[in-house]
Structure 1
């Protein structure tokens, strides 16, 4: 058997498990949103971070990276144990089609594993739901946890999307709003995660 996993958040720049192949591409009819709480990595129960999940949206596409784990059941089990521990806030494991750039009619891969969350605060205690952009930015700018702060998660995702050649307007807009909050708080952004200048969203005919 072969395990394929789609990363659309921190897995893009930091998969954290042993893999044999990485492909840049996208899934259809989902968009990336910062509606999930993290209370043990980049936030706390008192001040949760906001991290990515996916929201079903007809016509949208979500770019990211698919990772392949080959080499037998033991290797796959090890990868899954790691992922289930790391992605514990996500209560749904679904399997979706994955497309390569320029190949939009037929999927390059089928049955790719994707971790997402139920969009229901009662069903999933980690689901925060949407909020106004300025409120989300204030939360992300100030949340900190054992693995670092929330703003670096956002900035690293912004940088990762740029590195794979597929900037996300939503991520850029949120990151710029967080920079404005940090400016007002006189907080310095580390050089390795900041953009040289404020990034402007790239408009596209495709819904994100």
Structure 2
């Protein structure tokens, strides 16, 4: 048995579990958005931070990293760890994953992807869309047990750039946050 999980947020730079292979690439039909509230890592219940989730988007691709875990005990440990870490993400999708080198044939069918849905009856931490300025103000202010929310944003921007991905949403938001910070 082999287990694959796709990271499109903090899992890109901090897997937190033992893996056999780390493969940069993308999934199709989704885009990364800062619509999920974080009350356990990058914010608090009183002032949630913003983290990424996926939104269906025809024709779009979302870059990230797929991790392969092969050993039975490593698979069990990884799944247990991810179920706690990703507990505010209420959906598990099994999607096709495409490595950087090709976009015709998936390298993996059924890679696990944690997603925070927009259904607030199932996901009480869904914050939804907001203007770039509103998102940036919230990210500048929020801080949780895992650190400042802006650190999450800047780490994500750096990790994506290292993959060769210039995500317009992430980069625009990072630019807005830096602008706010330079004016404080």
TM-score of the aligned structures, taking structure 1 as reference length: 0.87
Aligned residues: 184
User: Structure 1, residues 159-181: CA drift from partner, whole Å, max 9, x if none?
Assistant: 00011111211100000011111
1:92 corresponding residue in structure 2: 91
Between the aligned partners of 1:53 and 1:166, the Cα distance in structure 2 is 17
Alpha-carbon distance between aligned partners in 2 of 1:10 and 1:91, rounded to the nearest angstrom: 17
Are 2:171 and 1:172 equivalent residues in the alignment? yes
1:183 deviates by 1.4
The residue aligned with 1:160 is: 159
Task: Indicate yes or no: 2:77 matched with 1:78.
Answer: yes
- The runs of 5 or more residues in structure 2 that have no matched partner are none
Give yes or no for contact 1:121–1:129 (8 Å, CA) kept in 2.
no
| Partner in structure 2 of residue 63 of structure 1 | 63
Q: Is the Cα–Cα contact under 8 Å of residues 19 and 74 in structure 2 kept in the other structure?
A: no
Q: Give the superposition deviation at 1:46.
A: 0.7
**What residue number does 2:101 align with?**
102
Q: Distance in 1 between matches of 2:66 and 2:130?
A: 29
Query: Offset of 1:146 from its aligned partner?
Result: 1.3
SS in 2 for 1:50: strand
Q: Cα RMSD over matched residues?
A: 0.8
Conservation of the 8 A alpha-carbon contact between 1:118 and 1:124: yes
Question: How big is the shift at 1:102?
Answer: 3.3
Structure 1 residue 181 corresponds to structure 2 residue 180: yes
- Measure the CA separation in 1 of the matches of 2:93 and 2:159: 24
Does residue 1:135 correspond to 2:144, yes or no?
no
- The whole-number CA distance in structure 2 between the counterparts of 1:20 and 1:45 is 36
For residues 111-155 of structure 1, the C-alpha deviation after alignment (integer angstroms, 9 at most, x for no partner) is 000000111222210111111110000000110111100000000
CA distance in 2, matches of 1:3, 1:75: 9
More strand by share: 2
Structure 1 unmatched ranges of 5 or more: 186-208
- TM-score, scaled to structure 2: 0.98
Q: d(CA) in 1 for partners of 2:54 and 2:63?
A: 11
The secondary structure found in structure 1 opposite 2:24 is strand
